[in-house]
């Protein structure tokens, strides 16, 4: 089991469930100072328990002003950030027969714009850490669905693909500043969010195993942290196939349209 070296000031969003909860537990147990963010204060308090190295920082990442205030609070308390892990997000599947623009906007709000809100608040603190001699790291949870279009994943996959593209581009621009960016592309992980899925989830792993893979990747400063690798390598391969072949493979995953009832 890999531990993050040193003692770091960390901001973790989406901390109370699934991968975020597993990461929070590990980071706190390792002794890092961790600002825990999620929308529910009671859930944050239950997670933190009596740990003195936990800071409760409830926030809805889709609320730009609230996130900015959270960043100011972190600045007042720590004056820096060594590691930011933006993990908050949601998933809803789009039925093209009943196109729902509100659904698309609900998914993009935390998955894409929420990360940008947090990034806007965190960058000054990451720069302060760099000025003090640290090599700060920013990480965000995307998805293996960002690698390839999949049926019903138009909203979710697009939000994650947009996030991956944005941060890969930003990573180039921040390189000379000494701020690293790691993108996290999980496959299927056993979480309360994935428990709502109504389709098979091959090679699904536990949230604890996901946290292990993420922390190992962060310690190694991997550009792309993806797991389980047997699954994600296959998805990545599908994503680089010629469009016609990729389309044919994707059609095999489309569910048959239910027959309309006869009058």
Percent of the chain clearing pLDDT 90 (strictly above)? 78
Average pLDDT, rounded, for the chain: 93
CA distances from 253 to 93, 143, 150, 153, 249 (A): 14, 18, 8, 11, 7
Number of residues that make up the chain? 263
Residue 156: active-site member = yes
Is 53 part of a structural domain of the chain? yes
Is 217 part of a structural domain of the chain? yes
Is 259 part of a structural domain of the chain? no
**Mean pLDDT throughout 181-207?**
87
Is 3 part of a structural domain of the chain? no
On whether the CB atoms of residues 89 and 111 are closer than 8 A, the answer is yes
- Say how far apart CA 6 and CA 60 lie, in whole Å: 30
Is 225 part of a structural domain of the chain? yes
Residue 43 CB coordination number (10 Å): 17
Q: Which of 55-59, 115-119, 258-262 has the lowest mean pLDDT?
A: 258-262
On whether the CB atoms of residues 47 and 15 are closer than 8 A, the answer is yes
Q: What CATH number did the domain enclosing 28 receive?
A: 3.40.50.720
**Whole domain around residue 246: which residue ranges?**
9-251
- pTM score > 0.75 for this model? yes
Is 26 part of a structural domain of the chain? yes
| Selected catalytic residue, list 93, 147, 156, 175 | 156
- Say how far apart CA 200 and CA 187 lie, in whole Å: 12
Is 1 part of a structural domain of the chain? no
User: Predicted confidence band at 45 (pLDDT cuts at 50, 70, 90)?
Assistant: very high
* Number of independent structural domains in the chain: 1
């Amino acid at each position: 089991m890999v531990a993050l070296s040193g003692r770091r000031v960390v901001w973790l969003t989406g901390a109370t469930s699934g991968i975020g909860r597993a990461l929070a537990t590990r980071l706190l147990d390792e002794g890092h100072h961790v600002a825990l963010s999620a929308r529910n204060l009671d859930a944050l308090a239950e997670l933190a328990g009596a740990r003195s190295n936990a800071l409760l920082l409830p926030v809805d990442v889709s609320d730009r002003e609230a996130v900015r205030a959270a960043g100011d609070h972190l600045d007042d308390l720590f004056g820096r950030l060594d590691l930011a892990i933006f993990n908050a997000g949601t998933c809803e599947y789009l039925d093209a027969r009943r196109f729902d623009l509100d659904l698309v906007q609900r998914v993009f709000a935390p998955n894409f714009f929420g990360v940008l809100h947090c990034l806007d608040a965190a960058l000054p603190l990451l720069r302060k850490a760099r000025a003090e001699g640290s090599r700060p790291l920013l990480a965000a949870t995307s998805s293996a669905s960002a690698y390839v279009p999949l049926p019903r994943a138009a909203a979710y996959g697009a939000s994650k693909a947009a996030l991956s593209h944005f941060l890969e581009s930003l990573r180039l621009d921040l390189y000379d500043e000494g701020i690293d960016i790691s993108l996290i592309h999980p496959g299927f992980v056993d979480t309360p969010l994935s428990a709502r899925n109504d389709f098979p989830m091959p090679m699904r792993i536990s949230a604890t195993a996901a946290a292990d893979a993420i922390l190992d990747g962060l310690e190694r400063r991997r550009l792309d942290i993806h797991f389980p690798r047997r699954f994600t390598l296959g998805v990545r391969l599908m994503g680089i196939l010629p469009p016609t072949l990729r389309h044919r493979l994707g059609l095999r995953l489309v569910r048959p349209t239910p027959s309309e009832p006869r009058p």
